[in-house]
Structure 1
Amino acid sequence: MHYRAAPEADLPLTSPATLCLLEDRIDRATLVRIAAALVDQFIAAHPEPPEYLILDFDSTDDPVHGHQEGRFVHGD
């Protein structure tokens, strides 16, 4: 995989509007590629593989009320 260099310190980072565009237009194949890149970065950050890795998923139910956008995430 090819990675871009880090952004220049004096340049602005991505705005919230740009992040919203990403969230609204990203597809499953792109998410898979992003996940693979994150795994590659994690592996590259360690000279030796970690002995173990703890994945701490939070399954706390946080119910929403009404017809809020994204409520399907909570099983409604």
Structure 2
Amino acid sequence: MQHSLKDIIRFRIMMIAVGYEDGNDAADLRDDPAFKLALERDPETGAALCSQPTISRMENLANRRALIRMAHEMVRSYCASFARAPRQIVLDIDDTFDSVHGHQQLRLFNAHYDEYGFQPIVVFDGDGRLVGAVLRAKKAQAISGD
């Protein structure tokens, strides 16, 4: 079966929105009537939604150039959200730590939390609206004798 990129992304976003953090549950949800209905398919007779391997392939499609284009699009979309250009924009640039369980790509060790995780840099404006995010690349950590 073929699934459009739009449908794969919509299904994945809906899964995240209702609490399914990764794509592993797609196999159980691909025939779920509520998800089918949300994706404009007949809940009983509509074609099954995409599988976990399809979601994984989609999530791994983006290369560095595509990720940079997505970041530019996030900033462009943010700027376009204003009816008039604001006089000033205050940016809050910070990192956050999200623990991982397993050996996910791009994970890094955080000595403060004493565990592995992702540490994206996120940018919000003064009103708390997301401007953009960048996932830090994995770096080798120096081992301290302390």
- TM normalised by structure 1 equals 0.49
Higher percent of residues as helix: 1
- TM normalised by structure 2 equals 0.31
